[in-house]
Structure 1
Amino acid sequence: MSAPLTVLVTGASAGIGAATARAFAAKGDRVILSARSAHRLRDLEAEIDGDTFVLPLDVTDAQAHLDALGWLPAEWRDLDVAVLNAGLALGLVPVWENTVDHVDRMLDTNVKGVVNGLRAIVPGMLDRGRGHVIGIGSTASHTVYPGGVVYCASKHALLALMNGLKVDLHGTPVRVSTVSPGMVETEFSRVRFEGDAARADAVYSDTVALTAEDVADAVVYCAHAPERVNVQELLLTPRVQSGYTMIARGDDVP
């Protein structure tokens, strides 16, 4: 049996990030739980039956990203896998109606946060001669939809960053993957609509979305594929979703 992987998961306090942390731990891997909310990470750590380490981190802070990895105990520093999951959408309005705050937060988290992670993580992987960076994209990496243009632009950028990283790492042992899910029922819409539960719940009503665990399974598959395999992108949608933005609902759900 191969040695356990040491895995960093950003945005691990909820949703896809938390599910991914649980899935790696269930495989016997060692998981660094990272997010801004230390108390939610502690709750997740208490829940997971496995080897975990809590690393509070705001991915939008470039220096904090560099410093945080330096704070890791020596036995946790040799990352095998980094899952760059932290991200969010805010609002659902025409592009010109986006507030400055919403634009800054989406771009700072979804784009700059990824670059900050790459700057902090990739050099060590190159030094060790092994590693795997997995970005969490979206079907929004491939299309645009009304009201979500800035979010879609940020996810287009993430996919470009991951594809570009693979090119920059050509000829090295470091692997690069993007896992791009369609509709997933998580806290995503509650964050987008700033806590409006009724509006958020309506996004998932009368249909069958992916679960966070479905996406986590895809991430773990990419990480545990044979070393000769690089999953460039794994694009997954619920069965009810077609053409990126078409969602079957109600009587149309087979």
Structure 2
Amino acid sequence: MTSPVPSESLSSSATRPKRAVVTGASSGIGAATVRALRASGWDVVAVARRGGRLQALAAETGAQPVTADVTDGGSVERMAAEVLATGGVDALVNNAGGAWGVDSVGDGKLSDWEAMYDVNVLGALRVTQAFLPALRDSGRGSILMLTSTAALAPYEGGAGYCAAKAAEQALAGTLRLEEAENNVRVIEILPGMVKTEEFSLNRLGDKDAAEKVYAGVEQPLTAEDVADVMAYSLNLPHHVNLDRVVLRPVAQAATHKVIRRPLG
């Protein structure tokens, strides 16, 4: 998918390129989104906990690196102050998130549930609240929430992650209703099976187990596939709002139906 050039960034009414803040930018979909937005003319602030990775991404793309932890309110406040001290913001990409564990509800670890809710839901809330005034002031603000098809259908071993992503989806839907009068559009992107270097590894804690998630699946989505859709949605004319976009690999017809071919 080819992203349209954001026409607002080139119009006579704009005095600067459009500027986006991308959380969870140190790897995977977040890093790919920074690259996609920079390639289509955006100024980008790349936010994550791992400063070394951000510096490498900044050297590659020209993004502005800012280290912050979305689960820490003070860290988010400091990050937002640093970002806003250097200019306005036109888009916020709430990409930071993650999943931990595949236990049943009966055996689920409360700490895993709390961690997933904190980063996926409260993290998005903290960052959104920090930048919402600037997004309103922009006159062309956008909030993009990266949720998951897990928000749409529960599956065994996924209750904690499904619950967190469903809550994040509710946050996106409510924001869309509340902020339309401020010309802030709210976009939700819901990927299915995406093979990245860290998501399944962090969830399962074992490289072999992580690889088995994708075993036999012909062409699972890549981080670049998702980032391409995210950049496209933000580069559309501002009056066009892609409320909810579901994307999956062809091999994943539904959350519970994945085509796996014999290996070898």
**Structure 2 length normalisation: TM-score?**
0.90
SS at match of 1:143: coil
The count of aligned residue pairs is 248
* Equivalent-residue separation in structure 2 for 1:177 and 1:107 (angstroms): 20
From 116, 119, 127, the counterpart of 2:126 = 116
Deviation at 1:31, TM superposition (A): 0.9
From 227, 250, 253, the counterpart of 2:261 = 250
Residue type matched to 2:235 in 1?
A: H
* Equivalent-residue separation in structure 2 for 1:52 and 1:170 (angstroms): 29
Could you tell me which residue of structure 1 aligns to residue 37 of structure 2? 24
Answer yes or no: is the 8 Å Cα contact 2:140–2:238 preserved in 1: no
Answer yes or no: is the 8 Å Cα contact 2:89–2:138 preserved in 1: no
Q: Which runs of 5+ in 1 are unaligned?
A: none
1:170-207 CA-to-partner distances (Å, cap 9, x unmatched) read 3221110000000000111001012x100001111111
* Equivalent-residue separation in structure 2 for 1:157 and 1:101 (angstroms): 17
Answer yes or no: is the 8 Å Cα contact 2:90–2:138 preserved in 1: no
* Equivalent-residue separation in structure 2 for 1:170 and 1:131 (angstroms): 10
Deviation at 1:62, TM superposition (A): 1.8
* Equivalent-residue separation in structure 2 for 1:73 and 1:66 (angstroms): 11
SS at match of 1:83: strand
Deviation at 1:73, TM superposition (A): 6.2
* Equivalent-residue separation in structure 2 for 1:175 and 1:203 (angstroms): 34
* Equivalent-residue separation in structure 2 for 1:142 and 1:223 (angstroms): 23
1:107-148 CA-to-partner distances (Å, cap 9, x unmatched) read 110111011111101122123322100000110010111111
Q: Which runs of 5+ in 2 are unaligned?
A: 1-6, 10-16
1:13-57 CA-to-partner distances (Å, cap 9, x unmatched) read 011001101111111211111011111111211222xx3111111
1:219-249 CA-to-partner distances (Å, cap 9, x unmatched) read 0111011121011011100011112221101
Over the matched positions of the two proteins, sequence identity in percent amounts to 38
* Equivalent-residue separation in structure 2 for 1:73 and 1:178 (angstroms): 24
* Equivalent-residue separation in structure 2 for 1:131 and 1:53 (angstroms): 19
**Structure 1 length normalisation: TM-score?**
0.93
Could you tell me which residue of structure 2 aligns to residue 170 of structure 1? 180
Could you tell me which residue of structure 1 aligns to residue 94 of structure 2? 84
* Equivalent-residue separation in structure 2 for 1:251 and 1:91 (angstroms): 27
* Equivalent-residue separation in structure 2 for 1:8 and 1:181 (angstroms): 20
Residue type matched to 2:259 in 1?
A: A
Answer yes or no: is the 8 Å Cα contact 2:28–2:223 preserved in 1: yes
SS at match of 2:188: strand
Root-mean-square deviation over aligned CA pairs: 1.5
Residue type matched to 1:63 in 2?
A: G
Answer yes or no: is the 8 Å Cα contact 2:233–2:242 preserved in 1: yes
From 216, 223, 239, the counterpart of 2:234 = 223
Deviation at 1:96, TM superposition (A): 2.6
* Equivalent-residue separation in structure 2 for 1:101 and 1:160 (angstroms): 22
* Equivalent-residue separation in structure 2 for 1:176 and 1:73 (angstroms): 21
Compare 122-131 and 167-176 and name the one that shifted more.
122-131
Residue type matched to 1:115 in 2?
A: L
Deviation at 1:212, TM superposition (A): 0.4
Could you tell me which residue of structure 1 aligns to residue 224 of structure 2? 213
SS at match of 1:79: coil
* Equivalent-residue separation in structure 2 for 1:26 and 1:245 (angstroms): 35
Residue type matched to 1:245 in 2?
A: H
From 124, 139, 158, the counterpart of 2:168 = 158
Could you tell me which residue of structure 2 aligns to residue 102 of structure 1? 112
